[in-house]
């Protein structure tokens, strides 16, 4: 068994001819470029048992030789693919497990019925241009440029991608080299978070992966805060990458964009709370780009909420009003405009550079001493326990929230939004480190915090609705009816906002009565 570590980048098919000339890589090449025609057959059972168990079985023909490859487990994040891989030459294009000596493979395929049910589910046919490159620190990678097709029955999908596979040395050099490729390339390169096998399965089944929520992070008391920060950011990148393709390929499903924004908020909170050093140029650049991306995605999400949640609450009460269909049509146009801008931002060079930059920075975080991670703006972390550091951070945030809550009824929309952001940060930091504390009291605190966040979020949605109404361009026909419809929506949003202000008081009362879990012995 070997561990496969590779980074994938995709590019528009119109640049294939440019990529076929690999002379610009010669200065780093340690082998001459080669060109191969590759034909691969992917096998699975009719109910896709291999895929559902996190495994893939591929037979690839290279010239007159067949290579059987099994990949299992592994992880994909920010374009970096890591898998356990078993390869063996075989004599035909049929799976052959007689030569499988690895006990893991024997266990996977010991079921005779499974072997009988294996059948081709899709194939890949592509041309591969390959060259071995030497990078810094004596690291070596295999640069592959692939162009061709994935074919499943009568359906097909283009392959236009670069694979950078680590052969020896430091995986960090793959990210650095990819970053230089993005800088030099005259066309946009995008990190690809789905393997050819994953894309083939989607093509074959017609089923696109569901939106992915944040997963629990297993942080223990015996690790340093810098290690925890790395785990948290990797979790955020994982959530981001698993929803990114959904935003691009399924724009009508609003949950993908929502989860991308959640991942970004968690990521920004982690960096701002646990590493607020403004003197670090890498962190400053990452913060700036994360803010840029958030601002690009926010309008699309806000219009999603208005079109799918707010407007449907109001319009049914005025079924005969002629202004509502016209307003809805205009709002849909604005929504599509902002969703297109969101997709373009995920296709942009700046976004790819951001993800690569975070991965490069993370490597530095894992190598540095704990003193370089800062728990809050003024106090640097020493070798004190992680639980103590996190407790100090959460206590500071809790105090800020408590001070704002005492004058809750006097806060305007802008200040309420600032409070909501502070509550989000507290919720994320509590969720990141919840494994360090008693689960019952921690869960209760996070629940009440989330309830506060939800109510404040609803208030913000209605404030945003009022702002959106000012952006609507009135169509020439039926101006009076459209103005009247806008007035109705504005009044509705105002009434709902006032009701939510009352609900906020109840949510705050419940939250203010709970004792913070980091100082709680299990009793309220």
Q: What is the pLDDT of residue 26?
A: 66
The answer to whether the beta carbons of residues 428 and 269 sit under 8 Å apart is yes
What's the CA gap between 450 and 452, in Å, rounded?
A: 5
What's the CA gap between 126 and 347, in Å, rounded?
A: 24
pLDDT digits (tens, 9 = 90+) for 346-394: 999 999 999 999 999 988 775 554 444 444 333 444 456 888 889 999 9
Q: What is the pLDDT of residue 326?
A: 92
Strands annotated E in 63-118: 65-77, 80-90
What angle separates helix 439-469 from helix 281-305, to the nearest 10 degrees?
70
What's the CA gap between 127 and 149, in Å, rounded?
A: 9
What's the CA gap between 9 and 37, in Å, rounded?
A: 20
Q: Name the percent of the chain lying above pLDDT 90.
A: 58
Q: What is the pLDDT of residue 16?
A: 87
Q: What is the pLDDT of residue 63?
A: 82
Angle at 74 between CA 71 and CA 75, to 5 degrees: 135
Pairing of strands 2-10, 190-191: antiparallel
* Closest by CA position to 228, among listed 271, 285, 265, 189: 271
Q: What is the pLDDT of residue 28?
A: 79
Q: What is the pLDDT of residue 376?
A: 39
Coil, helix or strand at residue 233: helix
Q: What is the pLDDT of residue 371?
A: 42
What's the CA gap between 129 and 147, in Å, rounded?
A: 9
Residue ranges of the chain with per-residue pLDDT less than 70? 1-4, 22, 24-27, 73-83, 99-102, 277-279, 366-384, 520-524
Q: SS3 letters for 331-346?
A: HHHHHHHHHHHHHHHH
Q: How many CB atoms lie within 10 A of CB 350?
A: 13
What's the CA gap between 61 and 487, in Å, rounded?
A: 67
Q: What is the pLDDT of residue 31?
A: 85
Specify which residues 124 forms β-bridges with: 40, 150
What's the CA gap between 234 and 275, in Å, rounded?
A: 15
Q: What is the pLDDT of residue 22?
A: 67
Overall pTM surpassing 0.75 (yes/no): yes
């Amino acid at each position: 068994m070997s561990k496969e570590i590779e980074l994938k980048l995709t590019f528009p098919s119109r640049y294939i001819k440019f990529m076929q000339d690999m002379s610009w890589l010669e200065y780093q090449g340690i082998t001459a470029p080669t060109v191969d025609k590759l034909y691969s057959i992917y096998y699975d059972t009719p109910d896709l048992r291999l895929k559902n168990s996190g495994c893939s079985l591929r037979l690839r023909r290279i010239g007159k030789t067949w290579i059987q490859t099994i990949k299992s487990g592994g992880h994909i994040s920010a374009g970096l693919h890591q898998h356990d891989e078993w390869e063996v030459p075989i004599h035909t294009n049929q799976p052959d497990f007689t030569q499988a000596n690895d006990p893991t493979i024997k266990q996977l395929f010991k079921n005779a019925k499974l072997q009988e049910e294996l059948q081709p589910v899709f194939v890949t046919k592509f041309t591969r241009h390959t060259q071995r490159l030497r990078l810094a620190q004596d690291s070596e990678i295999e640069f592959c440029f692939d162009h061709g097709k994935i074919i499943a029955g009568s359906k097909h999908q283009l392959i236009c991608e670069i694979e950078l596979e680590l052969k020896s040395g430091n995986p960090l050099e793959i990210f650095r080299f990819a970053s230089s490729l993005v800088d030099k390339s005259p066309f946009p390169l995008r990190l690809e978070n789905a393997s050819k096998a994953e894309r083939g399965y989607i093509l074959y089944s017609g089923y696109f992966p569901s939106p992915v929520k944040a997963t629990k992070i297993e942080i223990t008391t015996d690790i340093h805060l810098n290690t925890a920060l790395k785990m948290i950011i990797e979790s955020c990148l994982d959530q981001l990458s698993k929803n990114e393709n959904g935003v691009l390929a399924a724009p009508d499903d609003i949950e993908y964009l929502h989860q991308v924004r959640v991942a970004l908020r968690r990521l920004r909170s982690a960096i701002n709370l646990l590493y607020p050093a403004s003197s670090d140029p890498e962190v400053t650049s990452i913060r700036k780009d994360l803010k840029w991306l958030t601002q690009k995605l926010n309008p699309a999400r806000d219009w999603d909420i208005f079109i799918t949640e707010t407007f449907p609450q109001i319009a049914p009460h005025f079924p005969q009003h002629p202004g509502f269909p016209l307003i809805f049509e205009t709002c849909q146009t604005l929504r599509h405009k902002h969703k297109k801008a969101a997709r373009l931002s995920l296709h942009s060079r700046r976004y790819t550079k951001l993800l690569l930059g975070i991965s490069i920075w993370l490597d530095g975080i894992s190598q540095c001493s704990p003193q370089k991670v800062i728990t809050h703006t003024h106090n640097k972390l020493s070798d004190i326990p992680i639980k103590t550091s996190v407790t100090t951070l959460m206590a500071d945030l809790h105090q800020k929230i408590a001070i704002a809550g005492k004058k809750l009824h006097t806060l305007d929309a802008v200040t309420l939004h600032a409070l909501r952001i502070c509550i989000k940060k507290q919720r994320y930091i509590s969720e990141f480190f919840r494994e360090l504390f008693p689960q019952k009291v921690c869960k209760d605190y996070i629940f009440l915090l989330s309830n506060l966040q939800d109510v404040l979020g609803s208030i913000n949605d209605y404030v945003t609705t009022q702002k959106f109404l000012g952006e609507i361009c009135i169509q020439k026909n039926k101006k009076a009816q459209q103005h009247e419809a806008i007035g109705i929506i504005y009044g509705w949003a105002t009434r709902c906002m006032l009701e939510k202000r009352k609900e906020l008081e109840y949510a705050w009362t419940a939250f203010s009565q709970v004792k913070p879990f980091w100082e709680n012995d299990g009793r309220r």
